Each structure stands twice: as structure tokens, then as C-alpha cells.
């Protein structure tokens, strides 16, 4: 049209728009290997449980650890604020729908109690599993040493958007290179969605990056602040940074897609988009053993002035082992995620996660999903 453009708008992709295309080879699912490495730590399955209070308690961290994955406990959540989080969790679950946000705001206004942090780490360690804990950038310098001293194995530094450079009036921004040098356990940072930002984070020496801003079921960042990048593009961009950083340095930083994954299909698409592992919220919160009693809410939900995310009813479906490793009794992809991953790898002939990352993705708007809901409506 000859009209000057104020800016370009780049097309990005989400899970619902893409599908995996098979290739020239198929293999039996039992020939696939799906282990995941974070720094020196190795995990049998490439699944982390989100640092959400409705998903990970010390007990749930023990269960997922024994299944081969990694649960991340939010030390700034209820377990870092209350001696008896169980009572508080029931209070949240029992709040009427219209008061849920106000109840969350009130409950999370209780202060973090430093004396609880070490206790929580020890609770997890007593189960003989890897202990991962999460902190926000603001509190990391102050609280991380406590957790490390108590025996934490992995530190996750997480906020809605985390970059290598942060400017604040009230505190000196966290310097990740200093942190990595100081605490000596693997550091995972997030969330992040871009090539350049993840490259800058990798250069600080961290071991993993959480990918995903705005996509989770319990997150409304896109509505509230307009920010968000769909997970397929976000994962592809951060994976491209991982490849470039590895090419330059020989050091491999893990990419973990976090948010928006509820089904085996979505987990598979995340890995084909370049992820080394995924972080799950809703599927974990649906486990019989989950602390949320059938509810889930995000870490930004209780913000005192600008809550982002609602308490959603996710239901209780099955023991965590069955959700993750099957057998499945449902056909919508929400159970036996590990089995689904291995079946999918078999169908595209991938022996390893690295090979699966090379599978083909196609853009295929999910019209059937719409049709299906129509069909169901017809039938009932």
C-alpha cells in the first residue's frame, strides 16, 4: 500500500494450531528413552511439577521424585508462610467462587517466615528425592542461602517475566552470574520467551530456562497486562538460543516449557518445538495427592493490587502415578502422559528426546476440536 509501517507484527504459534507429522520410520514405544538432564542431575522422565501451591507440597514432591520427575516447591507460597498450610488450603477450596480472589489476596498477605524454609527443604529431602525450590528474584539473594544450607538441590528463580537485567528503586537487581557462582547448585530461571533474553540468561551460567509467559490455564497475564507469547513459538525461540549457545560454548542449558500443557499431545508438541522437558501445573493439581483438593491458582493470583489468574476448579482425577504413567481410562489425552510421549516418539521414529525435537511440525488449525464439542452437545 506504500503506507509506512509503524512496526512489524510477527506471527507466532500455540499448541492448538500445530500438530506433529510422522516421518519415514516407526519404532516400538518401548525402544524410546525419555530421560532429562539438568546440570549434573538426571531424571527418568522429562516432567517437572510447577511451583504452585495447589500442585506441589513436600509430599507431592516426594511422589513425583520417586516417579522419576522433579517437583518444585514454592518457598514464598503457603509452605513458607504458614505452619499448617493444610488448613489454609481447605479454606481456599471452600471459599465461594465470587470471593476466591479476595480470599487468596488475604491469605497470601501473611508474611514469609524464614524459619519454615529450611524445614520444608528437609521434609522433601527426607524422602530421598531431589529437592527443588522456587523463589522470586526480589527475595532470592536473601532466602536462597537458607534453602541451600538446608540441602536444596535445585534453585528455581521465577517471576512472570525474568531477564538478565532488572532495574529497581527499592533493591539492587539480582545478578545471576553472582548467584550461580555463590550457591553452587543448578539454577533454573524463568519465565522467558525470546531468543535474545534466553541467550543473555544462559550467559550468566544458569542450567535451565523456564519458557512461557501468559499461556497457563490459571494465568490471565494476557488479559490483564496484554503480555504473552504462544508456547510453540516461545519454545522454538528459546531452543534456538540453546543451540546457538551450545555451538559457541559447548555447554548445554535445558529448556523447560512451562504453562499451557494439559494433555499428552501438548507435552509432545512442546518437545517437538525444542523443549528438553516440560513443567506441568493443571495435570499435577488434578492428582489425588495434590494439595489443592481439586482447585488450582497461579502465583500471580493473590497479587494485592493486580491479581492475574483465577482459582479454577480442575477436579481430582486419579493418583499422580496414573496421570503421569497410566494406564489411562480416558481418551482426551489427560492421562498417561509418559505413555503418550513414548507412543508419539514411536510414531515418528524418535529413539530419544533429542531426536524427537527434530520431528516435523505442521500448522493445522484444530477444527476438529470445535466440531467435537458440537457433536457432544448433539448427543447429550
Q: Give the residue numbers annotated as catalytic, written as ranges.
A: 219, 311
CA distance 134 to 124: 13
Which CB, 254 or 336, lies closer to a second copy?
336
CA distance 205 to 366: 39
Q: Residue 41 pairs with which residues in a beta bridge?
A: 38
Compute the least distance from the CB of residue 369 to a second copy, in Å: 7
Compute the least distance from the CB of residue 269 to a second copy, in Å: 5
CA distance 273 to 356: 9
Which CB, 21 or 87, lies closer to a second copy?
21
Compute the least distance from the CB of residue 146 to a second copy, in Å: 24
CA distance 264 to 29: 14
Query: Cβ(218)–Cβ(202) under 8 Å?
Result: no
Compute the least distance from the CB of residue 40 to a second copy, in Å: 26
CA distance 314 to 292: 9
From residue 253, give the alpha-carbon distance in Å to each of 130, 173, 205, 239, 298: 19, 23, 9, 9, 26
For 297, phi then psi, to 5°, come to -155, 155
CA distance 33 to 43: 11
Compute the least distance from the CB of residue 160 to a second copy, in Å: 6
Which CB, 236 or 280, lies closer to a second copy?
236
Which CB, 63 or 238, lies closer to a second copy?
238
Compute the least distance from the CB of residue 322 to a second copy, in Å: 10
- Provide DSSP, 268-322: HHHHHTT-SEEEESHHHHTBTT-TTTTEE--TTTT-SSS--S--EE----B-HHH
Which CB, 40 or 331, lies closer to a second copy?
331
Compute the least distance from the CB of residue 188 to a second copy, in Å: 17
CA distance 273 to 255: 10
Which CB, 164 or 179, lies closer to a second copy?
164
Query: Cβ(304)–Cβ(109) under 8 Å?
Result: yes
First-last CA distance in the chain = 51
Which CB, 270 or 284, lies closer to a second copy?
270
Sign of CA pseudo-dihedral 279, 159, 78, 305: negative
CA distance 337 to 328: 9
Amino acid at each position: 500500500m506504500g503506507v509506512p509501517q509503524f512496526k512489524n507484527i510477527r506471527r507466532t504459534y500455540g499448541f492448538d494450531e500445530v500438530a506433529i507429522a510422522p516421518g519415514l520410520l516407526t519404532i516400538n514405544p518401548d525402544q524410546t528413552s525419555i530421560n532429562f538432564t539438568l546440570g549434573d542431575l538426571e531424571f527418568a522422565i522429562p516432567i517437572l511439577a510447577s511451583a504452585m501451591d495447589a500442585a506441589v507440597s513436600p509430599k507431592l514432591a516426594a511422589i513425583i521424585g520417586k516417579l522419576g520427575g522433579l517437583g518444585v516447591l514454592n518457598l514464598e507460597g503457603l509452605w513458607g508462610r504458614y505452619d499448617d498450610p493444610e488448613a489454609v488450603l481447605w479454606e481456599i477450596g471452600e471459599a465461594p467462587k465470587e470471593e476466591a480472589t479476595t480470599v487468596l489476596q488475604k491469605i497470601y498477605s501473611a508474611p514469609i517466615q524464614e524459619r519454615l524454609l529450611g524445614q520444608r527443604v528437609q521434609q522433601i529431602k527426607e524422602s530421598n528425592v531431589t529437592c527443588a525450590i522456587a523463589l522470586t528474584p526480589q527475595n532470592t539473594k536473601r532466602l536462597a542461602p537458607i534453602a541451600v544450607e538446608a540441602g536444596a538441590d535445585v534453585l528455581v528463580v521465577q517471576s512472570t517475566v525474568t531477564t538478565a537485567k532488572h532495574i529497581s528503586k527499592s533493591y539492587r537487581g539480582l545478578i545471576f552470574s553472582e548467584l550461580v557462582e555463590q550457591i553452587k547448585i543448578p539454577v533454573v530461571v524463568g519465565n522467558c520467551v525470546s531468543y535474545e533474553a534466553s541467550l543473555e540468561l544462559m550467559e550468566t551460567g544458569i542450567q535451565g530456562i523456564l519458557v512461557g509467559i501468559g499461556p497457563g490455564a490459571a494465568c490471565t497475564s494476557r488479559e490483564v497486562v496484554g503480555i504473552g507469547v504462544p508456547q510453540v513459538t516461545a519454545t522454538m525461540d528459546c531452543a534456538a538460543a540453546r543451540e546457538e549457545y551450545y555451538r559457541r560454548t559447548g555447554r548445554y542449558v535445558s529448556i523447560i516449557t512451562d504453562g499451557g500443557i494439559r494433555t499428552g499431545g501438548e507435552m509432545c508438541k512442546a518437545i517437538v518445538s525444542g523443549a528438553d522437558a516440560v513443567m506441568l501445573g493443571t495435570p499435577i493439581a488434578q492428582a489425588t495427592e495434590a494439595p489443592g483438593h481439586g482447585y488450582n491458582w497461579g502465583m500471580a493470583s493473590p497479587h494485592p493490587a493486580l491479581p492475574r489468574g483465577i482459582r479454577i476448579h480442575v477436579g481430582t482425577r486419579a493418583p499422580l502415578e496414573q496421570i503421569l504413567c497410566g494406564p489411562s481410562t480416558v481418551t482426551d489425552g489427560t492421562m498417561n502422559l509418559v505413555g503418550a510421549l513414548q507412543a508419539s516418539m514411536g510414531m515418528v521414529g524418535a529413539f530419544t528426546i533429542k531426536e524427537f525435537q527434530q520431528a516435523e511440525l505442521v500448522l493445522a488449525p484444530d477444527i476438529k476440536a470445535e466440531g467435537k464439542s458440537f457433536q457432544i452437545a448433539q448427543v447429550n
